[in-house]
Amino acid sequence: MTRGRSGNGKGPVASLDPNRPTPRRIYIMVGAPGAGKGTQAQLIAQALGLPHIASGDLFRAALQADEALGREARRYMEKGALVPDDVTVRMIADRLAQPDATAGAILDGFPRTVAQAIALDTLLARRSERVSAVLYIAVSETELMRRLSGRWVCTGRQQHVFNEMLRPPKVPGICDIDGTKLQQRPDDQPKTIRARLDKQLPPMYEVIDHYNELGLLMAIPGEQPVEEVTAALLASISRGTPVAVR
């Protein structure tokens, strides 16, 4: 395992070399649709002072702005299918190159395939960087179906997520945070939900296996109150000890 190794014995130890920039902290949140990774990623990003980069939000923003990227992504999103890897990787690479990501980022919804994971690993390796840890929020499929059919998302820029059962808004239909109207996404209809799970779970397990093999995976039980999941995630990050799963 190489996590936390700070030198190769030949050059100066990274943390003692004033000219060497602090390595970026790149955390990946992994979880099925409805596992709560969006909510948790926002909370973790806030706690660590890093930007929250959600691939689904980037696609939806591109769609709203009627950009070519959004138009290309739309036909896959509507079917509950994954957008092709090359398009997705390019979008994330551009986002990670933005100035607010110089200290790192919380990636949410990316990578979703092993090909994306390998592309990210390669992208980071080119800058002598690597993923810091992969946080897997584990939730059963029955619970996922129950949660997804009650999901409402705000129409504000940040697309805050609420749930009829788990995190209801204070005023029905209105976002607690920015006061915008809540709406159900077209891809949160029951038929689409099943299709999304069937299409997205197998590649997600492959991504989990990929990072498990690299010793970077931390698994957190996701069927507990939001605050407890957040506390468990932050504790895992500060402990820094990967937990093997499966």
Active site residues: 37, 112, 151, 185, 196
Q: How far is the CB of 30 from ligand AMP (least distance, A)?
A: 11
Mark the segment that binds ligand AMP (CB under 6 A) among 61-69, 110-118, 129-137, 175-183.
110-118
Nearest approach in angstroms of CB 60 to ligand AMP is 7
Residue 55 interacts with ligand AMP (CB under 6 A): yes or no = yes
Residues 76-95 that bind ligand AMP (CB under 6 A): 76-77, 80-83, 88
Q: By C-beta, is 76 or 205 nearer to ligand AMP? A: 76
CA atoms within 13 A of residue 162's CA, in its CB half-sphere? 23
Counting Cα atoms < 13 Å in the Cβ hemisphere of 154 gives 21
Q: Which residues are registered as beta bridge partners of 232?
A: none
User: Does residue 59 touch ligand AMP according to CB under 6 A?
Assistant: yes
Half-sphere exposure of 86 (CA within 13 A, CB side): 1
Nearer to ligand AMP, 3 or 205 (CB): 205
Which parts of this chain interact with ligand AMP (CB under 6 A)?
33, 55-56, 59, 76-77, 80-83, 88, 109-110, 112, 116, 187, 196
